[in-house]
Amino acid sequence: MGFTRLTPSKPTIAAISGFCLAGGLELALWCDLRIATESSRLGYPERRWGVPLIDGGTQRLPRIVGLGRALDLILTGRIIDASEAHAMGLLTEVVNNGDHLRRAIDLANNLARFPQRTMLADRRAAIEGLGMTLQQGLELESRAGPDVFADAVSGAGRFAAGEGRGGAGAGA
């Protein structure tokens, strides 16, 4: 507990295998992306014993899957399989058993290859803008523009020259 009250400065990826319950699920929700094996199970069984969620679970889960689906898990203590978690948007991707860590590392390496300043500015705007009105969020997004303008011009030039056409290099 504690560090999950902070927003990390870089993208984070959870690699999940097996049971991801209670505080483990709260930690996974702290991450930007969640990769899990097909045999993974996720949920808040602490409901059954009267233990409260205290590490962000009541705040992050609704933001990721919507209030109705979040309340289903928060109120019932129901444990769901990876397929259902993926269908509701809780998981980014489901992989074969044993492939979760390799896939998470591959994804992290691909993210590290992207121009960092623009990616981090977009990530920050998405996270910070979540509780704002649309207009406030658009203003927040536009404030990053001047800081990353040179990166944007360079990237647009590379695209115009043919780099990345047809999705090449998207690899994430």
Residues with a known catalytic role: 26, 46
Rounded to whole angstroms, the Cα distance separating 113 from 58 reads: 33
Rounded to whole angstroms, the Cα distance separating 119 from 54 reads: 30
Neighbour tally for 111: CB within 10 Å: 18
